[in-house]
A = this chain, B = another copy of it.
Amino acid sequence: MIASAEPVVPNAYPNNVYAANCQCREMLDLLASKWAALAIGALENGPMRFGVVRKKLEGISPKVLSQTLRKLEDHGMVDRTVFPAVPLHVEYSLTPLGQSANAPLAHLRDWVEANTGIT
């Protein structure tokens, strides 16, 4: 039996959300936000146009929705597809990563719906 200096499987997840300088803090900040959690949920059943997302996420302003979707796109959660027609047609959809992220977010949304106002 030979002992290796380095572990064979060094560390499954080197990321630690509690560490200040961890890259994953940015990811947590992205997903742990009201509008991101709702926007990803809105797209869970397929592509949706900007205006339809806006109506589903009652109360969101166009500026904030635009910023939210762009940040999600920048982090690879959402795809943006432009159909050059008039009036302009733009569809947003979840990437595989976004669909994966939707799982824990769906749990959170469900928990909130199930546990609000049950005094």
Which chain B positions have C-beta within 8 A of A46? none
How many copies the complex holds: the figure is 2
Flag whether A64 is at the interface (Cβ < 8 A): no
Which chain B positions have C-beta within 8 A of A97? 115
What CA separation (Å) do A109 and B37 show in the bound complex? 14
Known: A27-B116, A111-B103, A113-B15. A34 touches B34 (CB 8 A): no
Flag whether A16 is at the interface (Cβ < 8 A): yes
Most chain B beta-carbon contacts within 10 A, residue among A41, A57, A107: A107
Q: Which residues of A contact B (CB under 8 A)?
A: 13, 15-29, 31-34, 36-38, 41-42, 56-59, 97, 100-101, 103-105, 107-117
